């Protein structure tokens, strides 16, 4: 099968491209390289550097390759930035996504796997989060993803939207880099490496077991395997939205303690005020993906941190 992977040089995209190639898929990566790194791609992946905004770029990649299905990772993913610049998020995550769908229709490609997020749910009314939970996003990032899910539902293209919980971990000699870095695990590991003086805990008065926020961390390799199963399910005619999480929550303090144990380093911790917009707890109910996609997370939080440490402690900079 020939798969076009938008955003395939980014963090989750590049891990998925490695897994696709390992499983015998032919892959064309479409990436602007704004937040992607060609060094992250396996040699056998074909890279087309282009922008979803440009119809010409899209038409060129679809006319010069036979595409059977698309995995659409490309998009912006910083919650804080989306609150400062919502239009940037609607432009890239919604309007540019629509450009992609229009081109798919023009070239008769009717299967897409879409990177969605648990940020579509907003503040949980009931935990763990099931796919049927109301979607009332509390930030523009989550809203842009929710709106694109709705576009997919109305598009008559067969789609599977995967709502990721907290992606983390590393494999294939590549890892997690964001600029600026805002995610907990890379920040804690940078503190362990001495690249930062300390780690700030945003809020210690949440109604959780130790007062800090709880998240469902999911290994990027588990996300990669879910995309491949989603492609297979699309072939079988399945469609819809699926949570990708482990079903187990880990608090910020537990993440820091595990990082101390795994790295063997001291990590200075500063307790700060809450960060605006952080729900106390986000944990997936992952049963739908298990029963319908035959997917289940294989890795736990310890595996995730070990793999991330292995990469962070070796890589210098790109
Ligand atoms: N945190 C800290 N200190 C830091 C960074 C994070 O205490 O320096 C805390 C946050 O307050 C939060 C937890 O660690 O409680 C996890 O924070 P991340 O920024 O790593 O991840 P988020 O849960 O905020 O965001 C993730 C994804 C988003 C997605 C969101 C859904 O990165 O793309 O989940 O809510 F939208």
Residues 241-255: tens digit of each pLDDT: 999 999 999 999 999
Going by pLDDT thresholds of 50, 70 and 90, the confidence category of residue 318 is low
In this predicted model, which residue has the larger pLDDT, 178 or 230? 230
Residues 162 and 63: their CA atoms lie apart, in Å, by 27
Closest-CA residue, ligand 1 atom 24, reads 278
Residue 90: CB atoms within 10 A of its CB come to 17
With CA atoms as reference, report the closest residue to 125 among 300, 279, 288.
Answer: 279
> How is residue 129 written in tokens?
């989060």
Per-residue pLDDT for 313 more than 80?
yes
pLDDT for the residue numbered 80:
87
Domains contained in the chain, CATH given: 2-168+218-245+283-292 (3.40.50.720)
Residue 74 has phi, psi (to 5 degrees) of: -55, 130
With CA atoms as reference, report the closest residue to 71 among 168, 1, 120.
Answer: 1
Distance 261 CA to ligand 1 centre (A): 21
282 close to ligand 1 (CB < 6 Angstrom): yes
With CA atoms as reference, report the closest residue to 77 among 89, 69, 63.
Answer: 89
Residues 173 and 301: their CA atoms lie apart, in Å, by 19
Distance 23 CA to ligand 1 centre (A): 32
Tens of pLDDT, residue by residue over 57-102, are 999 999 999 999 999 999 999 988 999 999 999 999 999 999 999 9
Residues 179 and 83: their CA atoms lie apart, in Å, by 17
- Percentage of the chain beyond pLDDT 70 is 99
pLDDT for the residue numbered 178:
83
pLDDT for the residue numbered 8:
98
Look at the alpha carbons of 216, 244, 76, 92 in this order and tell me if their dihedral is positive or negative.
negative
Mutating to test ligand 1, I would choose from 128, 183, 249 the residue with most ligand atoms within 8 A of its C-beta, which is 183
- CA-based angle 232:235:241, to the nearest 5? 70
201 close to ligand 1 (CB < 6 Angstrom): yes
- The CA-based dihedral angle spanning residues 28, 53, 226, 64, taken in that order and rounded to the nearest 10 degrees: -20
Mutating to test ligand 1, I would choose from 162, 176, 184 the residue with most ligand atoms within 8 A of its C-beta, which is 184
Going by pLDDT thresholds of 50, 70 and 90, the confidence category of residue 317 is low
Tens of pLDDT, residue by residue over 253-304, are 999 999 999 999 999 999 999 998 889 999 999 999 999 999 999 999 999 9
Within the chain, how many helices (H) and strands (E) appear?
11, 14
pTM reported for the whole predicted model: 0.97
Residues 118 and 121: their CA atoms lie apart, in Å, by 6
Question: How far out from the chain centre does Cα 162 lie?
Answer: 9
> How is residue 91 written in tokens?
């432009």
41-68: average pLDDT: 97
Per-residue pLDDT for 180 more than 90?
no
With CA atoms as reference, report the closest residue to 97 among 28, 155, 139.
Answer: 155
Active-site positions?
141
Residues 220 and 225: their CA atoms lie apart, in Å, by 9
Which 3 state secondary structure label does DSSP give 209?
coil
Which 3 state secondary structure label does DSSP give 70?
strand
Residues 225 and 232: their CA atoms lie apart, in Å, by 11
Q: Which secondary structure element, helix H or strand E, spans residue 250, and what is its range?
A: strand 250-251
Summary mean pLDDT of the chain: 96
The β-bridge relationship of strands 69-72 and 199-202 is unpaired
Which 3 state secondary structure label does DSSP give 244?
strand
């Amino acid at each position: 099968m020939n798969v076009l992977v938008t955003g395939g040089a980014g963090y989750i995209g590049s891990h998925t491209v490695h897994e696709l190639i390992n499983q015998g898929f032919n892959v064309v990566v479409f990436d602007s390289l704004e937040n992607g790194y060609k060094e992250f791609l396996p040699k056998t992946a074909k890279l087309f550097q282009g922008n979803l905004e440009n119809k010409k770029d899209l038409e060129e990649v679809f006319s010069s390759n036979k595409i059977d299905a698309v995995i659409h990772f490309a998009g912006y993913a910083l919650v804080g930035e989306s609150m400062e610049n919502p239009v940037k998020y609607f432009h890239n995550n919604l309007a540019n996504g629509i450009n992609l769908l229009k081109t798919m229709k023009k070239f008769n490609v009717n299967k897409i796997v879409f990177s969605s997020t648990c940020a579509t749910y907003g503040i949980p009314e009931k935990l763990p989060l099931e796919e049927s939970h109301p979607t009332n996003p509390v930030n523009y990032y989550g809203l842009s993803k929710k709106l694109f899910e709705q576009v997919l539902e109305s598009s008559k293209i067969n789609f599977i939207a995967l709502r990721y919980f907290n992606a983390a971990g590393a494999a294939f000699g590549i890892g997690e880099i964001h600029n600026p870095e805002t995610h907990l695990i890379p920040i804690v590991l940078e503190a362990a490496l001495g690249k930062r003086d300390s780690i700030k805990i945003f809020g210690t008065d949440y109604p959780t077991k130790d007062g800090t926020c709880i998240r469902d961390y999911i290994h990027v390799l588990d996300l990669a395997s879910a995309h491949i199963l989603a492609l297979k399910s699309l072939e079988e005619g399945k469609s819809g939205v699926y949570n990708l999480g482990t079903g187990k929550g880990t608090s910020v303090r537990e993440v820091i303690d595990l990082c101390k144990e795994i790295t063997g380093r001291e990590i200075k911790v500063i307790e700060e005020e809450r960060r605006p917009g952080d729900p106390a707890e986000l944990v997936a109910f992952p049963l739908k993906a298990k029963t319908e996609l035959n997917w289940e997370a294989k890795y736990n939080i310890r595996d995730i941190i070990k793999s991330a440490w292995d990469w962070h402690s070796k890589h210098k900079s790109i």
